[in-house]
């Protein structure tokens, strides 16, 4: 069976983002970009399935501007077999990405789709669930363990109260949480090899998908900055201050 992973190009998790002066968004010029960390976990999980013999081929998907190809190359350098890029300058929102994914999945017919649970830029946490809905497939979000056998996927999910295990009919969509695995680094030889791996490029029109945004961002602002307080010298002083000054205990 084939596995498809979706990878998003986002501002690197170590970058402290700054809101643009004109309040239209955050500064992304000259900022380090990386693969969304949850998507790295998705790629790693697909590679492990291939290494275990469950999956024969891993396809890495991304959508957006030309530079998203670099994010696909990163997935290929980690070990994915080939890429699919949907090229567009339009701001893509999760519903549009889910529709693009659906169109590609209908061509490629993977049996398992693995996606990060959330992108660390828009923090939406939607695409996997939306894709599963559009395909009429089952979903397991926030996965910390994935086992595939006999046409079904057993997935342990990180939920508010602890862990929950569900069993899904295949094909299925799984979204990754932090504890699913620890992604590998791409080795230099694999980075070189990745340059030769094929990437198919489509436009949203090729796939017959309308990607017009449904949400309009009216403005983006900085939150109120929290001011640092004081250092206290002792536990006794801390408890006194919490009692008499902050009045929280």
Partner 1 sequence: MSVLVVAEHDNKSVKPATLNAVAAAAELGTAGAGDIHILVAGEDCRAAADAAAKIAGVAKVLIADDAAYGHGLAENVAPLLVSLAPQYSHLLAPATTQGKNLMPRVAALLDVMQISDISGVVSTDTFVRPIYAGNALATVQSKDPVKVITVRGTAFPPGEAEGGSASVEAVGGAGSAGLSEFVKAELSKSERPELTSARVIISGGRGMQSGDNFHLLEAVADKLGAAVGASRAAVDAGFVPNDYQVGQTGKIVAPELYIAVGISGAIQHLAGMKDSKVIVAINKDEEAPIFQIADYGLVGDLFKILPELDAELAKTQK
CB of 74 to partner 1, least distance (A): 21
Find how far residue 5's CA is from the centre of its chain: 9
Considering only residues 138-167, where is the footprint of partner 1 by CB under 8 A? 138-142, 144, 154, 157-167
**Dihedral sign (CA 17, 20, 24, 30):** negative
**DSSP H or E segment with residue 157:** strand 152-159
Per CB under 8 A, does 98 bind partner 1? Answer: yes
Per CB under 8 A, does 28 bind partner 1? Answer: no
Tokens 């396809």 correspond to 59
Cβ closest to partner 1, residue 76 vs residue 113: 113
Among residues 64, 79, 94, 110, which is the contact residue for partner 1, using CB under 8 A? 94
Cβ closest to partner 1, residue 74 vs residue 127: 127
Other beta carbons less than 10 A from residue 11's beta carbon: 18
Per CB under 8 A, does 236 bind partner 1? Answer: yes
d(CA 8, CA 248): 42
Other beta carbons less than 10 A from residue 211's beta carbon: 20
**DSSP H or E segment with residue 82:** strand 82-87
Considering only residues 8-27, where is the footprint of partner 1 by CB under 8 A? 11, 13, 16-17, 19, 26
Cβ closest to partner 1, residue 58 vs residue 209: 209
Per CB under 8 A, does 31 bind partner 1? Answer: no
Among residues 134, 190, 191, 197, which is the contact residue for partner 1, using CB under 8 A? 134
Site track for partner 1 across 173-192, x = CB under 8 A: ----xxx-------------
Cβ closest to partner 1, residue 125 vs residue 190: 125
CB of 76 to partner 1, least distance (A): 26
d(CA 60, CA 71): 9
Considering only residues 206-235, where is the footprint of partner 1 by CB under 8 A? 213-223, 226, 228-232, 234-235
Cβ closest to partner 1, residue 29 vs residue 188: 29
Candidates 8, 6, 210, 211; CA nearest to 108 is 6
Structure tokens at 39: 């998507």
Among residues 101, 131, 146, 148, which is the contact residue for partner 1, using CB under 8 A? 131
Candidates 111, 104, 175; CA nearest to 139 is 175
Considering only residues 45-84, where is the footprint of partner 1 by CB under 8 A? none
Cβ closest to partner 1, residue 163 vs residue 201: 163
First to last CA, the chain: 58
Other beta carbons less than 10 A from residue 221's beta carbon: 7
Considering only residues 109-128, where is the footprint of partner 1 by CB under 8 A? 117-118, 120-128
Identify the burial level of 108 via C-beta atoms within 10 angstroms of its C-beta, where 0-12 means exposed, 13-18 middle and 19 or more buried.
Answer: middle
């Amino acid at each position: 069976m084939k596995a498809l992973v979706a990878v998003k190009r986002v501002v690197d998790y170590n970058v402290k983002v700054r809101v643009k002066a004109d309040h239209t968004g955050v500064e992304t010029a000259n900022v380090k970009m990386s693969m969304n960390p949850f998507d790295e976990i998705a790629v790693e999980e697909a590679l492990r399935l291939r290494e275990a013999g469950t999956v024969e081929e891993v396809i890495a998907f991304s959508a957006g501007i030309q530079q998203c190809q670099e994010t696909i190359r990163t997935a290929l350098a980690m070990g994915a077999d080939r890429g699919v890029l949907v090229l567009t300058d339009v701001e893509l929102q999760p519903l549009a990405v889910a529709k693009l994914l659906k169109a590609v999945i209908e061509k490629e017919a993977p049996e398992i789709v693995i996606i990060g649970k959330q992108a660390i830029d828009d923090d939406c946490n939607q695409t996997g669930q939306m894709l599963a809905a559009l395909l009429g497939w089952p979903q397991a979000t926030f996965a910390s363990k994935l086992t595939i056998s006999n046409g079904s996927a057993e997935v342990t999910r990180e939920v508010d109260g602890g862990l929950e295990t569900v069993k899904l009919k295949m094909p299925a969509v799984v979204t990754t949480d932090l504890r699913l695995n620890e992604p590998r680094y791409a080795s230099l030889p694999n980075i070189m090899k990745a340059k030769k791996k094929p990437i198919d490029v489509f436009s949203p029109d090729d796939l017959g998908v309308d990607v017009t945004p449904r949400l309009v961002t009216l403005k983006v602002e900085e939150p109120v900055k929290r001011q640092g307080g004081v250092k206290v010298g002792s536990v006794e002083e801390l408890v006194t201050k919490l009692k008499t000054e902050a009045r929280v205990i």
